[in-house]
């Protein structure tokens, strides 16, 4: 059901971009209020600190330099301080790595749209929807609703022109991805080393 709703919203977004930005913002603000209330209700305040670091740690498990790296590269052990809290520098690093991995996946998807004329559009669109969902989850778990809203809105960004070699059937999916990549780059810059 959730996937059908997401697909419908994305298709609607393609047709009615300005109206959709407003609607998405309102929906995600409502979701954000629910998440905020759930996180800061008296029953959840005790475990909120440990919950905040778990998604970040999970997001970087398969990143280059993580302890779970299978082959190649350097393996670096990143341990939180003894009190279980990540200091600001370490948290920023983990957020940058997580956002960087998501940006890399999106860039690979955009290239796949450009170079795979024989891949059915539905396959690429499904990959986009999965990637978009992964990015939104990461943002909601590790940043806040304002980042989510900005991720949805390409206003003020320098967007790349559509390449002449792009297969026409993949243009919409390519644009969905490339509208979001510059915003991820902005987010990475906002979490300094």
Mean pLDDT, the chain cut into blocks of 10 residues (193 residues total)? 59 51 44 46 39 44 39 40 69 94 97 95 96 96 93 90 92 94 94 84
Task: Kindly state the helix (H) or strand (E) to which residue 12 belongs, with its residue range.
Answer: helix 2-15
Q: What is the pLDDT of residue 192?
A: 84
* Tokens read off for 39: 């996180």
- Provide the terminal-to-terminal Cα distance of the chain, rounded to the nearest Å: 40
Query: What distance in Å separates the CA atoms of residue 15 and residue 175, rounded to the nearest whole number?
Result: 13
Cα torsion 53, 56, 59, 60 to 10°: value is: -100
Q: How far is CA 154 from CA 135, 151, 181, in A?
A: 15, 7, 10
Q: To the nearest 5 percent, what fractions of the chain are helix, strand and coil?
A: 65, 0, 35
Strand runs labelled E in 114-186: none
Look-up of token digits 């906002």: 190
CA-based nearest residue to 51, from 66, 40, 65, 60: 40
pTM higher than 0.75 for the full model?
Answer: no
Q: What is the pLDDT of residue 87?
A: 85
């Amino acid at each position: 059901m959730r996937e059908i709703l997401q697909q419908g919203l994305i298709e609607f977004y393609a047709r009615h971009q300005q109206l959709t930005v407003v609607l998405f913002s309102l929906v995600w603000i409502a979701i954000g209020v629910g998440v905020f209330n759930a996180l800061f209700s008296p029953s959840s305040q005790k475990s909120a600190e440990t919950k905040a670091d778990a998604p970040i740690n999970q997001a970087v498990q398969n990143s280059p330099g993580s302890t779970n790296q299978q082959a190649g590269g350097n393996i670096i052990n990143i341990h939180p301080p003894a009190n279980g809290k990540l200091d600001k520098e370490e948290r920023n690093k983990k957020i940058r790595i997580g956002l960087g991995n998501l940006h890399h996946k999106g860039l690979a998807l955009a290239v796949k749209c450009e170079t795979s004329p024989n891949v059915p559009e539905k396959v690429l669109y499904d990959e986009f929807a999965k990637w978009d969902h992964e990015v939104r989850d990461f943002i909601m778990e590790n940043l806040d609703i304002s980042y989510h809203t900005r991720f949805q809105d390409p206003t003020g960004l320098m967007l790349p022109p559509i390449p002449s070699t792009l297969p026409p059937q993949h243009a919409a999916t390519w644009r969905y991805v490339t509208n979001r990549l510059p915003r991820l780059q902005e987010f990475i810059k906002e979490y300094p080393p």
